[in-house]
Each structure stands twice: as C-alpha cells, then as structure tokens.
Amino acid sequence: MGIDYIYPEFEVIRNESRCVTCQVCQRQCANEVHRYDPDLGRMLSDETKCVGCHRCVSLCPTHALKIVKNDCAFRENANWQTGAIKEIYKQASSGGVLLSSMGSPAPLSVYWDKLLLNASQVTNPSIDPLREPMETRVYLGKKPGLVDRDDKGNLTYALEPQLELSMPVMFSAMSYGSISYNAHKSLAMAAQKLGIFYNTGEGGLHEDFYCYGGNTIVQVASGRFGVYKDYLDAGAAVEIKMGQGAKPGIGGHLPGAKIVGDVSRTRMIPEGSDAISPAPHHDIYSIEDLRQLVYSLKEATEYKKPVIVKVAAVHNIAAIASGVARSGADIIAIDGFRGGTGAAPTRIRDNVGIPIELALAAVDQRLREEGIRSQVSLVVGGSIRSASDVVKAVALGADACYIATGALLALGCHLCRTCHTGRCNWGIATQRPDLVKRLNPEVGCQRLVNLLTAWNHEIKELMGGMGINSIEALRGNRLMLRGVGLTETELRILGVAHAGE
Ligand code: SF4
Ligand code: SF4
C-alpha cells in the first residue's frame, strides 16, 4: 500500500574492517537479511527482514556483526507507546489478527522476583548438600489422605499410579509440528537421561519416539490429533489439555504449510490441511463430562497411568481446580499467563489469564480447605526461569514445575518471537529440513541435561540453606517465603508474610 509505515525493528551493524565476505551470515539467515553484492564486493543488509534471532552474530567467524535495537523513535507519549503505534500500522496494512510467539512480554508483576526465601541461622542448622542426603525425587499422582500400614509395615491399600521424577521439573507440552523433529528428540533423550518426563503436546507421537515412552506424557487435546490406542499405551501418563496459559479460551491452529511429511503422518491428518484444535472439547461442557473423559482414558490404559488435566490460569482457577480434582484427575497442571506459545493472537496472549504464582497459591489453599489436596498433584508452568523459581513454586504448594521456554533457550532459542513464521534459524520451531538439521539432538540433549543438572544442584543448595532436606518437606511450606513490595491483597492471596515480619 505504498508507504511502509513501520521502521525496521533492528539495525544490522557490520564492521567492514572485520568482514571477510565469507557469506556465512547469508547462508545462515532464513529471513534473507544478508546478501553479497558482487559489484560492490561487500555484504549488504535488508534490515526490514531481521527478527533479531542473532544466528548470524553467533556464527560470524570474525565477530563483525552486531544487531541492535533501532532507536529511530516514533513520537510516542505515555498513552501511545511505540508498540501500540506499530500494531495499528500493521493491522491497517493487513486487516488481520496480530499473531505472536513465545510468552507475554507485558511488564506485569513477576511475583517470583518479589518473593524471597528463608535461610537457617543459629537454631535450625542448615544442611550441606555435598555431605548430607538431600531428596529431590518427587512422585506425582493421587496420595491417600492417611498412611495406613499392616503389622509388617506394608501399605494396606494399592497406591494409585504415580510418575516418579528425579527432580521437580519436567518439559512442558510442545507438539511435533510446532517444534522440529530434532528439538523433540533432544527433549525425549534428555527426559530419559534425567529421569523426568517430556510432553508430546497435541501433535501425536512420532514413531521414532515410542522408545522414550517411559519418559513421555502423551497429550489429548481438543483436536485429538494422533490419538489412538498405541499412542495412549506408549506414554507413562496421559494429559488432557483443556487450556494453555498463552491463549486461554481459544484453540490452536497449525497452518497447512507446516503439515508436511512426518508431521501429517504423526497427526494423522492429510498433508497441507490446517490442524485446527477447537476452543472447547466438543464432548466436555461440565465437570461430569470431564470426568467421563478422564475415566475413558483410565479405562483405555487399564488404570495403569495417571491422568493429568491441564488448565490455563484464569480468574476463578481455584474453583476450576477443585472441580478438576473431583473429576478423578490424578494431576492438575496449571499454565500461567506468561507461558510460551508457537503462535497465539497477540491480544489474547497479552491480556487474558493471570500470573501462575497467584493461581498456584489460590489453588493450593482451596484444595487444602476442602480437604482434597492429597487427591491430586499440582504441576505449574508459565515462565519458570530458574532453580529459585522452582523452589519458590514448591514452597507455594506445587509438586513440580513444567518448563518449556527455558528448555528451548537451552537448545539455542534466542527469543526472537517469530516461531509462527516457521523460519527458526536455530532449527527449533521449524520443519524446513535445512534448518532442522542445524540442531544436533545429541548436543541438544546434553545441553538440557546440563541445565537441569545445574538446577538440581541449586535446588539442593537452596533447600539446604533453609535446613530442609526434601522436596516433600518444602511443599506448601510458605513460612519459607517472604514478600517484598507487595500489597496486602497480594500477600493474602499468596499466603505469605511481608519481609521483616
Ligand atoms: S558472517 Fe561475518 S565475516 Fe562473514 S560475511 Fe557475514 S558479517 Fe562478513
Ligand atoms: S524457537 Fe526459534 S523462532 Fe522461536 S523464538 Fe526461539 S529462536 Fe525465535
């Protein structure tokens, strides 16, 4: 439409004295930013195409490149900020819904950063995790209200199926199709090595990954892609996806262009057809309906696997979780509004849902008050960034955490937020064979193992400092938390005292 109203978001700065015109940047950029001009004998840049993924910067052999934010300023004010102005221009040009990837960048409170952990001093000695046993293993699933043993010390009842995790962290749902074969393989291999679980997401399970079934959570979403008996049998647990933190209340859409080859076979839909998951499950309109699906899946898997129900953190999450617990689910996964996504309408991603910290505290409290907390395990996700976030989540009441964005960062993601274009230069959110092969699954697996091994050490150190030697003893122990800079209402919902109290 004539004038392009949007200035490039990034500026490519090339140090000509260092550039040897090797053209690595040209070959590495799927967005076609760099181009060698034989007449000029030098590299040129089309900055309108740059997404700031830093692939070229990382691989330039002479460190000749720098990508910086373009500081060409709009005439913004407190009301009309640059982002809002650009979005108006985009929609005036396209007439379409704005799409985004990864989690919400909105500058809303990150409560993890306003919660501080305790440490033992003088009376309750701290524990040195290098010298004393420290238990980070957790079991997810229904627990009995009371432990009852016979004369020989054996439990007097059969325990419901449990997931055993070596540490309270798992890889969250990311479908094959939204991420690449090699990204999925990295997650599957790492989950197996670490003794934790990864999650198929709603895209089915590639036949090559059935061998990782013992460390796989298979998801059943509203589109039911790739769901059949062998798929359910293959996983260690089944997750019903009712909602996702990045886009609560809506379904999913993987464009037909990405439904190719193995992706179409794994999803069991024709090549080139859009994979549209409806917003609701068309057979679920009540807790009773949900219960039917929970028990159908238990029946189909001979009551040998826990069933997880995943919901997005929304306004009345405590009541919703109470209903889900009564539906027979063994585990409730709650996804907060900062959670990542391969593609979501920007307005939904940035404006719908609530922070996971408040949702978790409200749910744990409600289930305790109703005396049903032990009937379900709670898994939380939605921007868990570090070992300290995990420890704070456990102290607020979680049994374990899901990570996804953190795992993708470990694989090389640079948070350029353009997964929905399918041109991920790091070989993660793409199905283009030339890009997929950039991610070596062996290397990816090792980086994930390194990350979580480091986190596990840090979790032990943090617990040891508090004089606590097991996740079990930390769970829901809000006395280990203090708030800073929070209102009375926020402190009440979180169930923590202010620092200094
Ligand atoms: S990768 Fe670096 S040295 Fe090679 S052409 Fe690009 S900017 Fe020049
Ligand atoms: S997965 Fe790839 S496309 Fe998505 S944000 Fe990360 S680097 Fe960018």
Residues facing 344 on adjacent strands: 100
pLDDT of residue 254: 78
- If asked whether residues 327 and 403 sit together in one domain, one would say yes
pLDDT of residue 136: 97
Residues with CB under 6 A from ligand 2: 53, 101-102, 408, 413-419, 424, 426, 428-429
The CA distance from 95 to 51, in Å, is 22
For residue 14, the ligand closest to its alpha carbon is 1
222: number of CA atoms within 13 Å, CB side? 20
pLDDT of residue 195: 98
pLDDT of residue 131: 92
Q: Indicate whether residue 60 lines ligand 1 (CB < 6 A).
A: yes
- If asked whether residues 329 and 254 sit together in one domain, one would say yes
pLDDT of residue 73: 83
C-alpha dist (Å) from residue 279 to 244, 245, 250:
11, 13, 4
- If asked whether residues 486 and 354 sit together in one domain, one would say yes
pLDDT of residue 296: 97
Best residue among 13, 17, 21 to mutate for probing ligand 1's pocket (most ligand atoms within 8 Å of CB) is 21
Domain-embedded: residue 454: yes
| Six token digits for residue 219 | 């998801």
- If asked whether residues 87 and 139 sit together in one domain, one would say no
Helices (H), 370-495: 387-396, 405-411, 433-436, 441-466, 471-474, 488-494
Amino acid at 310: K
The CA distance from 366 to 16, in Å, is 62
Domain with 464 in it: what CATH number? Answer: 3.20.20.70
In the chain, the N- to C-terminal Cα span, in Å, equals 61
- If asked whether residues 335 and 380 sit together in one domain, one would say yes
Q: Indicate whether residue 24 lines ligand 1 (CB < 6 A).
A: yes
Q: Whose CA is nearest to atom 2 of ligand 2?
A: 424
Contact 224, 268 (CB under 8 A): no
The CA distance from 160 to 51, in Å, is 48
For residue 16, the ligand closest to its alpha carbon is 1
- If asked whether residues 487 and 359 sit together in one domain, one would say yes
Which residues have CB under 8 Å from 12's CB, separation 6+? 33, 34, 45, 47, 50, 65, 66, 67
Q: Indicate whether residue 43 lines ligand 1 (CB < 6 A).
A: yes
**Per residue in 434-458, pLDDT tens?**
999 999 999 999 999 999 999 999 9
The CA distance from 365 to 317, in Å, is 11
Handedness of CA 48, 50, 51, 52 (dihedral sign): negative
Bridge-based pairing state of the strands 481-483 and 115-117: antiparallel
CA 175 to centroid of ligand 2, rounded, Å: 14
The CA distance from 95 to 206, in Å, is 37
Domain with 69 in it: what CATH number? Answer: 3.30.70.20
Domain-embedded: residue 103: no
CA-based max dimension of the chain: 90
Domain-embedded: residue 343: yes
For residue 28, the ligand closest to its alpha carbon is 1
CA 16 to centroid of ligand 1, rounded, Å: 9
- If asked whether residues 86 and 229 sit together in one domain, one would say no
Contact 224, 284 (CB under 8 A): no
CA 413 to centroid of ligand 2, rounded, Å: 5
**Per residue in 57-69, pLDDT tens?**
999 999 999 999 9
Q: Which domain holds residue 425?
A: 128-144+167-498
End-of-domain residue from the set 40, 75, 96: 96
Nearest ligand 2 atom to the CA of 179 is 1
- If asked whether residues 452 and 388 sit together in one domain, one would say yes
- If asked whether residues 173 and 87 sit together in one domain, one would say no
Best residue among 58, 67, 102 to mutate for probing ligand 2's pocket (most ligand atoms within 8 Å of CB) is 102
Burial (Cβ within 10 Å: 0-12, 13-18, ≥19) of residue 85: middle
C-alpha dist (Å) from residue 26 to 21, 56, 57, 226, 413:
10, 8, 11, 38, 19
Domain-embedded: residue 181: yes
Domain-embedded: residue 119: no
Divide the 501 residues of the chain into consecutive groups of 10 and give the mean pLDDT of each group. Answer: 78 97 97 97 96 97 96 89 92 92 90 96 89 95 87 87 98 94 98 98 93 97 90 97 93 79 89 85 94 97 97 97 97 95 90 96 98 97 96 98 97 94 95 96 98 98 96 96 97 97 93
Domain-embedded: residue 162: no
- If asked whether residues 89 and 185 sit together in one domain, one would say no
- If asked whether residues 137 and 36 sit together in one domain, one would say no
CA 276 to centroid of ligand 2, rounded, Å: 22
Q: What is the reported pTM?
A: 0.95
Q: Indicate whether residue 64 lines ligand 1 (CB < 6 A).
A: yes
Domain-embedded: residue 388: yes
For residue 57, the ligand closest to its alpha carbon is 1
For residue 439, the ligand closest to its alpha carbon is 2
Q: What is the dihedral of CA 66, 448, 265, 289, to 10 degrees?
A: -110
- If asked whether residues 195 and 299 sit together in one domain, one would say yes
pLDDT of residue 36: 97
| Six token digits for residue 330 | 């063994």
CA 403 to centroid of ligand 2, rounded, Å: 15
Helices (H), 47-105: 55-59, 82-94
Task: List the one residue out of 211, 220, 235 whose CA is nearest residue 163.
Answer: 235
The CA distance from 310 to 241, in Å, is 5
Domain-embedded: residue 115: no
> Domains in the chain: how many in total?
2
Task: List the one residue out of 493, 210, 149 whose CA is nearest residue 354.
Answer: 493
